[in-house]
Amino acid sequence: MRSILPKDWLRPMPSFPPDSFIVSDVVPSPNHDERKDGRPPDMILLHYTGMPTGEAALARLTTAASKVSAHYVVFEDGRIVQCVPETLRAWHAGVSSWAGDSDINSRSIGIEIVNPGHEFGYRDFPLRQIAAVISLCKSIVTRRGPISADRVLAHSDVAPSRKQDPGEKFPWELLSESGIGHWVRAAPLDLDGNTLKPGDRGEPVARLQRALHGYGYGIEETGSYDDATRDVVTAFQRHFRPARVDGIADPSTLLTLRALTETRPAPLA
């Protein structure tokens, strides 16, 4: 006999013990599979939920039909909910790339940070929420072994043409002060020097593309300041020079990129 009810009806998702005791609740998501390459995750990817409420976001992340999930959701009051065990592959990155890898879901632990986002009234992240994100990242790094600081990234870093989250209000500086993520103080906005902008061509543009690619961004060296280049520069600014996010490589952007490249941590053995 065929049931008219959906297959998963009345069959609750099996729960699991949280990976850390700073987790307040486990709300299991069916949206996961095995990590593909068998290597443990070595990247933390930060998102904002981009929905009117955190509860709506949690419902979406734990509903099979949405096909999306994250390992963790951090609410504005600091509450941390785990939806997928860290050993499994959650579905948060989508089409993305970093440092030559395109299966970012297999490489990463995904953290959704509740914020309405650019579409529903982007606002400052409360400090108690950021403190929870920092504690969670520290817990992940402590338990899982070293995760290189330059592999704590924004969704916009790995999907610059599609994503803006967690956005320019996200306080990367505070994370960095707590030892999470690679970050440098941005160069001042109004410096003299050359500006590269959409439409430009030539060796300086190729050099910019090489530098961004060298840091990890999925960008090709075309020598032409095309839409993809503008999107990557925009993503770079959201993360590292948030005072002006316009996709134009002004002297402050170029200098900040150079400082970032020069202070990059040595690769982990």
Binding-site ranges for Zn ion (CB under 5 A): 47, 155, 165
- In order, the DSSP letters of 7-29 are TTTT-PPP----SSTT--EE---
CA 190 to CA 136: how far, in whole Å? 36
Which residue number, 41 or 187, has a Cβ lying nearer to Zn ion?
A: 41
Cβ-based neighbours of 251, under 8 Å, separated by 6 or more: 187, 191, 192, 193, 194, 195
Sign of the CA dihedral running 205, 211, 215, 220: positive
Which residue number, 130 or 211, has a Cβ lying nearer to Zn ion?
A: 130
Minimum distance from residue 115 beta carbon to Zn ion (Å): 11
Check if the beta carbon of residue 148 is closer than 8 Å to that of residue 268.
yes
Question: Cβ–Cβ contacts within 10 Å for residue 221, how many?
Answer: 14
Q: Which of 55, 76, 112, 220 is catalytic?
A: 112
CA 219 to CA 139: how far, in whole Å? 32
CA 194 to CA 116: how far, in whole Å? 37
Minimum distance from residue 172 beta carbon to Zn ion (Å): 15
Does the annotation count 76 as an active-site position?
no
Minimum distance from residue 240 beta carbon to Zn ion (Å): 18
Which residue number, 32 or 187, has a Cβ lying nearer to Zn ion?
A: 32
Minimum distance from residue 219 beta carbon to Zn ion (Å): 19
Q: Which residue has the tokens 């020097």?
A: 193
Query: Mind telling me the catalytic residues?
Result: 112
